[in-house]
Structure formats: structure tokens, C-alpha cells
């Protein structure tokens, strides 16, 4: 395993001194980030730059997936794990959870866009912890994307339990409630080898008051095989604050199947944070092309974050989550 990543044991607002702890203090570029999502677009659609060519791994498509070509993904190595209904998380328990593990960073504004991003609370052998996740569009309107290491420990590890997604979480407040995770979809090769190129997971969440999460919050598209060099916005939950932070910058290529971005002060807890591009002001939606994870489980320095490149392997996981009712 390359580093401990940015999963956090406990709730936002507290940090613990483990290795690979990222970005414990941040630039307070609040004014910049307050207009972050609007800045993602020119007119109604984001100026994403000219992306570099995608790796030669084929391409895929689905009704709510943006892609560079025709479909070519199968369920292949996708593994579905059913999850027992979690117990409700009391506010005190939420606040105790702490993290495990060139742009400008500031507090994320509270709006419809950031409401689709939330904290993922779970339990494992180390105790209660959290990561970040976000809602993506799907037929069943019930899918959240995050990093695989947020829900499964990889080689030699196991699945986390008692998992809930809390969209729009801020300082102990759950404006949209807790959404129970009912199944987890990861790649078998992540389970077998902790392959950083496969550090992606899709969660199928249950309904709340008879409503799906997408019907309440909306969702962003999933982008696969879209190349490197795109302007993105990151939003995630740091271990040292009770509200999300955001960063705006352009991605670069780390390796054939890894992206990286300069975002200061993205510490533990931000694992799973979505990389959102092509933001449309009219619909208030964009396309998720990555999540903090992958190389070094997201990175072990204060200023650089990584993500697996979203390709056909990621599309296969998504399709399996859809098939499981997501």
C-alpha cells in the first residue's frame, strides 16, 4: 500500500498524527472559492482547456456517462458487497470521527453544487472514520462515487461497516440527513493487490422518506476516457474542519492511469473528493472525471492530489452499481 492516504478515523474537525497526513493548514482564498463553481464555466459550460489524449484503453458510454467514444466495458472484475443497514450516527459520534490518513484552496460555498458532495462515515478496526463522496447520475438515482480505500482496506484488509453518506455536512449539521449505504462496488483487483489504478468505488444508497438521493439533490455525470489536462473543481472534507473546502486548478498526467493536481491544504478526510469539470451554469451540474485516491491513496504531501484515470475499468464498476439498483 502506497501510504496511508487521506481517509480519516473520526469526524471532520479533528486530526490524528498518522503517516501520509495531507495539508493540515490551508490558504484562506474564500473569495476565490465562493465563486468557484461559476468560474468553472464560460457562459453556460466550463472552459476545460484542451485535454491531452486518453490512454489507449478503449472507451465506454451510458445514458448519464460522458465519454470520448463508443462503449466497451463489461462487469469483468466488479465485486458487489451487500451492506447491513447502519445504525444512526449521533451528532457526538459524528464529531468524534477523524481521518485516517498550484491551485488555491478555501471554504466551499454552501449551494446546490456542494450539496451533492458529502462526508462518508464508516467503521473499521481502527474505529469511526470518514472520507468524501459525491452523487453521480444513474438510472436508479442512488449512486455515490468515492475512493475504494474509503470502503475496503485492499490486500489483506476487509470492508468497512456501518456506512452512511451525509450530503452537505457542515459542523455537525446534516441538512439532508443520513443516507444508508446498502451495497459497495469495487474491483476485485483492488481487493487482491491494492492496485492504486483501481482505487475507485461506487456506493448504492438506500432511500430516505421514500425518495432517492438523486431526486432530492440531483447528480453530476460520470466522465470516462476524457483525457488529461482538464480544469476541475475539487470539494472535500478535511480532517481539521467541520465544513468542506474547495480548490480550482488544471489536472496533469502522473502516469498512464493516474492524474494529479496542485491543491494546497487538502488534508486527511478528503479521500474520495470529486474532480468536477465541464460545469454547466444552467443545470448546475458537471462531470466527475476523478476522485482523490490512487497513487499514495491520494498523495502524501501537502500540495499535490492524485486520482486514478477514469477509464473502462471505472465504467465497468459504475455499470455494475447500476445493475445492482443504483
pLDDT band for position 203 (cuts 50, 70, 90): very high
Using a pLDDT cut of 90, give the percent of the chain over it.
Answer: 42
pLDDT at 34 over 50: no
Residue, of 326 and 71, whose pLDDT is higher = 326
pLDDT of 140 over the 50 cut? yes
Q: Which comes out higher in pLDDT, residue 9 or 102? A: 9
Q: Mention the CATH class of domain 20-323.
A: mainly beta
- For residues 225 and 83, give the distance between their C-alpha atoms in angstroms, rounded to a whole number: 30
Cell readout for 288 is 466527475
State residue 128's pLDDT score. 77
Mean pLDDT of the residues in the chain: 73
Q: Predicted confidence band at 95 (pLDDT cuts at 50, 70, 90)?
A: low
Across residues 101-114, what is the average pLDDT? 41
> What pLDDT digit, counting tens, does each position of 49-68 carry?
445 554 433 333 333 565 55
Counted residue by residue, the chain has a size of: 326
Q: Which of 23-27, 57-61, 187-191, 197-201 has the lowest mean pLDDT?
A: 23-27
Encode pLDDT of 153-181 as tens digits: 999 999 998 999 999 888 888 899 999 99
Point out the least confidently predicted range of 82-86, 187-191, 256-260: 82-86
Amino acid at each position: 500500500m502506497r501510504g496511508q492516504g487521506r481517509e480519516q478515523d473520526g469526524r471532520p474537525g479533528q486530526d490524528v498524527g498518522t503517516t501520509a497526513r495531507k495539508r493540515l493548514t490551508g490558504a484562506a482564498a474564500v473569495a476565490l472559492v465562493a465563486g468557484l463553481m461559476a468560474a468553472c464555466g464560460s457562459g453556460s459550460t466550463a472552459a476545460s482547456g484542451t485535454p491531452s489524449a486518453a490512454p489507449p484503453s478503449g472507451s465506454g458510454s451510458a445514458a448519464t456517462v460522458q465519454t470520448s467514444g463508443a462503449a466497451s466495458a463489461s462487469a469483468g472484475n466488479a465485486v458487489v458487497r451487500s451492506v447491513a443497514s447502519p445504525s444512526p450516527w449521533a451528532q457526538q459520534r459524528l464529531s468524534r470521527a477523524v481521518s485516517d490518513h498550484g491551485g488555491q484552496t478555501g471554504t466551499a460555498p454552501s449551494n446546490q453544487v456542494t450539496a451533492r458532495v458529502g462526508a462518508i462515515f464508516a467503521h473499521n478496526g481502527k474505529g469511526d472514520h470518514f472520507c468524501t463522496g459525491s452523487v453521480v447520475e444513474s438510472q436508479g438515482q442512488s449512486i455515490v462515487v468515492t475512493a475504494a480505500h474509503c470502503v475496503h482496506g485492499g490486500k489483506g484488509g476487509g470492508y468497512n461497516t456501518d456506512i452512511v453518506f451525509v450530503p452537505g455536512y457542515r459542523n455537525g449539521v446534516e441538512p439532508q440527513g443520513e443516507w444508508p449505504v446498502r451495497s459497495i462496488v469495487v474491483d476485485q483487483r483492488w481487493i487482491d493487490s491494492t492496485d492504486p489504478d483501481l482505487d475507485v468505488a461506487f456506493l448504492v444508497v438506500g432511500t430516505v422518506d421514500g425518495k432517492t438521493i438523486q431526486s432530492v439533490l440531483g447528480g453530476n455525470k460520470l466522465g470516462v476516457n476524457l483525457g488529461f489536462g482538464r480544469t476541475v473543481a475539487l470539494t472535500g472534507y478535511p480532517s481539521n474542519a467541520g465544513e468542506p473546502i474547495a480548490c480550482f486548478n488544471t489536472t496533469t498526467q502522473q502516469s498512464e492511469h493516474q492524474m494529479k493536481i496542485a491543491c494546497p491544504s487538502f488534508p486527511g478526510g478528503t479521500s474520495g473528493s470529486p474532480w468536477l469539470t465541464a460545469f454547466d451554469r444552467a443545470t448546475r451540474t458537471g462531470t466527475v472525471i476523478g476522485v482523490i485516491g490512487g497513487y499514495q491513496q491520494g498523495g502524501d504531501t501537502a500540495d499535490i492530489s492524485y486520482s486514478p484515470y477514469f477509464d473502462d475499468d471505472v465504467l465497468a464498476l459504475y455499470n455494475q452499481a447500476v445493475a445492482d439498483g443504483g
